Amino acid sequence: MKRTILLVAAGVFGALASSPADILWDQPREPGPDEIMIASQVFPDFPGSPPPMDIFAFDDLVVDPAGWAMSRITIWGGEFLSGDPRENLDVLVAFYSDHDITLNPLVGPFHGVLDRPGGSDTNLIFDFDPKESIAGGNYWMAAWVVRPFNVPPGGQWGWSRKASGVGFGDEYWVHNPGEGFGFGPDPLPGSDPVFHNPPFAPADLAFMIEGQVVPEPASMLALGAGLALIAARRRRR
């Protein structure tokens, strides 16, 4: 019986890996003339002195206790300051315990691609096949591009800021550890007046995560026991 349940459990995980994706987390984009892009970019042409310009945007989320099997992450964003997505050298996303890029990521980083559906829209897409597992808990997610600003002229990419405020947890935060933007080395909330005067209202960033919630162990064992019972009855017949 033990072997049968273990085999059935493996089958459950196999079915999870191949099943259609659900939306696990959705903070939809709110396009319009007042849409604001939050810079999140590594600038290879500003590596040393003056202080590095690299800047990272973070937003928080919570993963179901049993964990997720992620199939896609979409980061909604766009171009500003004459941004040219053809100059991207890399596209990354990672999950952290706090809004601090100097920490080791808990999950990732993962490399993705940039999708340009039209106009100034340029979204970051991360596809996982097989699905990528992430344990249950609270996370801060950062997503950014690697792109020179001046040589060749690549301009700047930004993560789309939602206009409808904070739907979950904390507002987004920004970290410029090299102080190149003059914000200081510590992470700051997006509503800090150092970014804009008058300050922006607290808000989330726009992104979507697709995949499946991992079944709770009790549910998985119950399903396995039921399937094992059916298999035993078939053998007796």
Instruction: Give the pLDDT confidence score for residue 220 in this predicted structure.
Output: 43
Q: Phi/psi at 126 (nearest 5 deg)?
A: -125, 110
pLDDT tens-digit readout, 147-164: 999 888 899 999 999 988
Instruction: Give the pLDDT confidence score for residue 234 in this predicted structure.
Output: 53
Helix (H) / strand (E) element for 73: namely strand 68-75
Residue 192, SS3 per DSSP: coil
pLDDT of residue 94 exceeding 70, the answer is yes
Per the CB < 8 A criterion, the answer to whether 160 and 96 are in contact is: no
Per the CB < 8 A criterion, the answer to whether 75 and 159 are in contact is: yes
Instruction: Give the pLDDT confidence score for residue 175 in this predicted structure.
Output: 97
2-18 vs 217-236: helix axis angle to the nearest 10? Answer: 120
Half-sphere exposure of 195 (CA within 13 A, CB side): 21
Instruction: Give the pLDDT confidence score for residue 166 in this predicted structure.
Output: 96
pTM, 2 dp: 0.83
pLDDT tens-digit readout, 204-226: 999 999 999 998 664 444 444 44
CA distances from 28 to 43, 87, 132 (A): 27, 26, 22
d(CA 177, CA 194): 15
